[in-house]
Structure 1
């Protein structure tokens, strides 16, 4: 290990529990990790155990529900410590024993409910609940106000759940949360809490729900069972369903810093043993679930404020995957623990790799949120775009082989690289050919904007990994059909990618693809028009606007990002708001018809003066080599964009599936 990182591996206490290092696995929605009885299924046990095996000091599970009557969630969505205590305790004990074998500690995250932010697919026939009759975050419904008896019932359920967690071998628990605008946080924020009883009005009254929860758990489980709290000192709410952007001046309608720090003092006085700090709310989701458009370490200033205010340990998450940043945050006394969520989805061995000085081998999270938040919201399943094995470690384990094969791979984008990696790990001999001078394919133009730096990191990781595995790689080599026919290969994988769709508007000399501009092969000038308002077009426009260009987007459909999806809501909503925030003009419902000199004419009669036109209207598969060979090569597969133009996740996943079964 590089000696400068040793401080990250010093032990520290939370309550009476000693955590062996400063790394915490952040709680992430554990959908797909439970069984119909409310216990942990084998997938869940394996998922958490592998992160403990990977060196993480403290595992905090994703959310579990202590109540399923006041707010119905549907069994099988996530675990429940109260539905069937026998099943929960048995399966928890089986999991915590395995986690403890690696010297890790594990806390159970427990929720009192989602309230107005319940994901629509999880509501069923039950009306959403809240502290007051307020607007639901996603649906055009008014939430039902909780009664005092229902609050008391939920508080008691927390005590029951904590008892079962302790019996099941958990070392402590985390309460979910005075954070992100979930049910208990809705009570704490005056924007949502209009009550006039003992649970409304003053800050102390609004925090009464959270106070009674920690008191109930301490009374039932004793002082030796730590209770931590997920806590947001600032909401970034401009209004209902309206959040603020970084650097934007606005009036905070949620919890502001002054009230947040006062709340932190009170919550610690009530008995919470640590505060797990982030910021944001479901109305400003891109703060709570930061996409690549947010800077790394975005919660650090807020964690520092909280740490300066309270005398219990502080945990800080929020794109903290850079080890130099993590160390700096510790040395600057901004936090006591570094919380990694999505980075541990991408690489469960992150901590051990850092400890042993193998930083280059850490697979990066690209903050796309396709496999995690996107799939949780759309399909109630937790996964990872860059790690197909995440949350299905046994199902997607590397398959043993009977006889090694020599496999030709044509194309060094994500699909080709992932296939080569998997084949090599399983014992086959992949030989990869890439026509350009560098591996990565569309990661390279996609990663050109500053906010997409992790796309480049992923390309670099593949290059490093294939080199470490000893994979034979031929760069600057365009493969012909004769090379395939005459090669001595048992199997051939075609992953030749895709090419941008291009068309002529007249002035071809100043009409470019987004790829050419992003890779700086051409100078687009100071006035730029982007044709196409999908993900590539919007990100290209944002990138150019941040560099001082005057940018206009022309989109044929009636709104931006209409054909991309399903994008995670935090990514999509933040990008939609960043476009006008950076003064990018948007023209929808119009098509470009001609470009002459510096004048671009649209079919709605508008004329735009522009130095260049950038085409971002999609990609088309490049599969001509496959078409030429499909009836000649017995074991031939088509992968990635060459098969179907899609995103990074499906390029990697499809390649893993095929390569793991050869």
Structure 2
């Protein structure tokens, strides 16, 4: 083990409970031991997921939050004794590996309630007609004060009454007692964190009450204080209670977050109040602070995407030990070197890890054995774990298929599907397999097929693997993408896979393998406008093409916006031209990612023309048409980022009609993202 990491493997105490090391598996939506959407039930496919991580040395497991009330049926969690009884075998097996489990229980969402357009329409129809559905709107659309919904501001949440607050306080106590009786080692209160209901009571911009739960500091934190007091009253002082805690809100106002390094006026909890509240809540009875920053208005602090720095919450969280004596955990793209140093200096007690454990359950073991290059990195894409999207004209949306696999991992489909993708089960018949295209989809299907015992050859037309992902990973803020490239290349090299470089397959007739897989990816979509020959294609720029000071980026999708941000970091002056009514209008693109990018473009004052059509590329500029007028913009270079379309030349020109041994996978089938490419590749490889 690396000497600097030794402290990560030392035990620490939360109240009276000893945790065997400093690794905390953070709660994430989709990892719920108890699901509450829409009714209470044991989470699906959780058994193998948690056991595998307990086997691999996780010290403390905190499953995804379960609310005290269900979305429908007006059920209370403390009434669900049969569900808790059903978790006892899982808890027993987790405990057999020395891991501890705290159940995270929460009062609910408040104004952050996930409201898609379809639910809004149902709600409004019920208001108009008086008809009732299964949804308990009166208890779902609540807040400390009358507040707009985060996703659809036209939906207004009503204030909780004092009597309802006391009901929640009582429910926290009863639920914690049931957890204790079931065998959980503690509970975590959700949360003075991320702008959820309890947190909305604590911040001035969301709490406008004039009763004992509003106004002064003590009143705003009264709800959270009464919760831990009630838990201790019902469970005793020795049953640990952690608090999920945002040190600061990082919020400028409703729907506007503050990006890393931005100077701003805090609308929510600033650092001074964050430290004061931490001491106050410790003294009230909380035994640990599980901390980061942010609210749903600055969601990317609690769910940091690739644009946020590694260890992004450390500066604020490490200040907590100045005022509290209880353990402090920091989460947010945490890295072991920085965590080890802070723990050694007494600034932290443990390292909070969420999505990295989705990507690689053996993360701790590989750290311990110094197999750093073997770690499959989390690249902070949110493509599978949190694919909730939001843009102009929609609310909190998630596609049906993505909703079924929320909490999973784009890079590792085995997460929550450990039985389905069992690497120990080799193929019944060994086959020779040709993979045409060495991009991520092709490499993945080749890797899994080789693991299952097949003889695999990759035919790659260029001199390098990873295809277009080499360009996608090029910006300086994509350090984890580059790690993923190194990881998957290492995997290919470690397996008996033959790679033919500079070998373009032009006809399938020249291949003699038993199975042929076409993974030739996508090609850029081009705009037919005068002067298009002057433009630079997005991948050209990303792979190193030099540009001038002023650059027009045509296309405000994910790639175009990332290019604009990359240009800003390089001291350029980009402008974005987008045909649609909004940028980042991409289904499945997590709002944590898109809102971070939007706020970065705001912060760096990048001009954005929406509902704008490119008419012509001229010498030293472009001509665009908006709803109001035609505009000529001066620029040195034009980068085209108008999306991609499947490159079907080989498919269309093939001889696959009537054959069963030819398969297509990845973007050549349908342009998607890493999740679609890798998951399709897994399914294909396991079907061969």
Mark yes or no: TM-score above 0.5: yes
Question: SS in structure 1 opposite 2:563?
Answer: helix
In 1, the alpha carbon distance for the partners of 2:381 and 2:72 equals 27
Give the equivalent residue in structure 1 for 2:109. 114
In 2, the alpha carbon distance for the partners of 1:51 and 1:93 equals 17
Q: Does 1:298 align with 2:312?
A: yes
For the 8 Å contact 2:256–2:599, the answer to whether it is kept is no
Q: Once the 2 structures are TM-superposed, how far is the Cα of residue 10 of structure 1 from its aligned partner? A: 1.2
For the 8 Å contact 2:31–2:63, the answer to whether it is kept is no
Q: Does 1:245 align with 2:249?
A: no
Q: Which residue, 363, 366, 373 being the options, matches 1:350?
A: 363
Q: Once the 2 structures are TM-superposed, how far is the Cα of residue 618 of structure 1 from its aligned partner? A: 1.3
* 1:121-132 map, 5 Å: 121=116, 124-127=135-138, 128-132=141-145
Q: Once the 2 structures are TM-superposed, how far is the Cα of residue 287 of structure 1 from its aligned partner? A: 1.5
In 2, the alpha carbon distance for the partners of 1:409 and 1:552 equals 40
**Structure 1, 268-277 or 328-337: larger mean CA deviation:** 328-337
Q: Once the 2 structures are TM-superposed, how far is the Cα of residue 33 of structure 1 from its aligned partner? A: 5.5
* 1:415-434 map, 5 Å: 415-434=441-460
For the 8 Å contact 1:242–1:284, the answer to whether it is kept is yes
Give the equivalent residue in structure 2 for 1:453. 479
Q: Does 1:466 align with 2:492?
A: yes
Q: Once the 2 structures are TM-superposed, how far is the Cα of residue 470 of structure 1 from its aligned partner? A: 3.3
Identify unmatched segments of 5+ residues in structure 2.
Answer: 124-134, 390-396
Question: SS in structure 1 opposite 2:265?
Answer: coil
**Structure 1, 32-41 or 223-232: larger mean CA deviation:** 32-41
In 2, the alpha carbon distance for the partners of 1:532 and 1:315 equals 41
In 1, the alpha carbon distance for the partners of 2:329 and 2:467 equals 37
Give the equivalent residue in structure 2 for 1:593. 615
Give the equivalent residue in structure 2 for 1:514. 538
Q: Which residue, 134, 140, 158 being the options, matches 1:144?
A: 158
In 1, the alpha carbon distance for the partners of 2:157 and 2:613 equals 43
Question: SS in structure 2 opposite 1:499?
Answer: strand
Q: Which residue, 87, 97, 108 being the options, matches 1:102?
A: 97
Q: Once the 2 structures are TM-superposed, how far is the Cα of residue 558 of structure 1 from its aligned partner? A: 2.8
Give the equivalent residue in structure 1 for 2:231. 217
Give the equivalent residue in structure 1 for 2:201. 187
In 1, the alpha carbon distance for the partners of 2:197 and 2:35 equals 24
Q: Does 1:479 align with 2:493?
A: no
Question: SS in structure 1 opposite 2:385?
Answer: helix
Identify unmatched segments of 5+ residues in structure 1.
Answer: none
Q: Once the 2 structures are TM-superposed, how far is the Cα of residue 641 of structure 1 from its aligned partner? A: 0.8
For the 8 Å contact 1:27–1:62, the answer to whether it is kept is yes
For the 8 Å contact 2:388–2:589, the answer to whether it is kept is no
Give the equivalent residue in structure 2 for 1:528. 551
In 1, the alpha carbon distance for the partners of 2:201 and 2:566 equals 40
Q: Which residue, 414, 417, 420 being the options, matches 1:389?
A: 414
Q: Which residue, 477, 489, 495 being the options, matches 2:519?
A: 495
* 1:365-384 map, 5 Å: 365-374=378-387, 378=398, 379=403, 381-384=406-409
In 2, the alpha carbon distance for the partners of 1:75 and 1:55 equals 38
For the 8 Å contact 2:30–2:385, the answer to whether it is kept is no
Q: Are the structure 2 counterparts of residues 237 and 248 from structure 1 closer, same or farther at C-alpha, using a change threshold of 3 Å? A: same
Give the equivalent residue in structure 1 for 2:431. 405
Give the equivalent residue in structure 1 for 2:631. 606
Aligned length: 650
In 1, the alpha carbon distance for the partners of 2:72 and 2:570 equals 46
Give the equivalent residue in structure 1 for 2:42. 40
Q: Does 1:618 align with 2:660?
A: no
**Structure 1, 196-205 or 227-236: larger mean CA deviation:** 196-205
**Structure 1, 438-447 or 337-346: larger mean CA deviation:** 438-447
Q: Which residue, 648, 652, 664 being the options, matches 1:638?
A: 664
Q: Once the 2 structures are TM-superposed, how far is the Cα of residue 75 of structure 1 from its aligned partner? A: 9.4
Q: Are the structure 2 counterparts of residues 84 and 548 from structure 1 closer, same or farther at C-alpha, using a change threshold of 3 Å? A: same
Q: Are the structure 2 counterparts of residues 43 and 65 from structure 1 closer, same or farther at C-alpha, using a change threshold of 3 Å? A: same
1:25-59 Cα offsets, whole Å, 9 max, x none, are 01111367546873424512222222212221111
1:371-419 Cα offsets, whole Å, 9 max, x none, are 1121596226322211212233334444542122221111111111111
**Structure 1, 245-254 or 168-177: larger mean CA deviation:** 245-254
Give the equivalent residue in structure 1 for 2:127. none
Give the equivalent residue in structure 2 for 1:538. 561
Q: Once the 2 structures are TM-superposed, how far is the Cα of residue 60 of structure 1 from its aligned partner? A: 0.6
Q: Once the 2 structures are TM-superposed, how far is the Cα of residue 189 of structure 1 from its aligned partner? A: 1.7
Give the equivalent residue in structure 1 for 2:51. 49
In 2, the alpha carbon distance for the partners of 1:243 and 1:508 equals 37
Q: Are the structure 2 counterparts of residues 537 and 33 from structure 1 closer, same or farther at C-alpha, using a change threshold of 3 Å? A: same
Question: SS in structure 2 opposite 1:539?
Answer: helix
In 1, the alpha carbon distance for the partners of 2:40 and 2:3 equals 44
Q: Does 1:575 align with 2:597?
A: yes
For the 8 Å contact 1:39–1:92, the answer to whether it is kept is no
TM-score of the aligned structures, taking structure 2 as reference length? 0.90
In 2, the alpha carbon distance for the partners of 1:558 and 1:228 equals 44
Q: Are the structure 2 counterparts of residues 327 and 477 from structure 1 closer, same or farther at C-alpha, using a change threshold of 3 Å? A: farther
1:122-146 Cα offsets, whole Å, 9 max, x none, are 8935141112222222232222222
Give the equivalent residue in structure 1 for 2:394. none
Q: Which residue, 346, 350, 355 being the options, matches 1:333?
A: 346
In 2, the alpha carbon distance for the partners of 1:441 and 1:352 equals 31
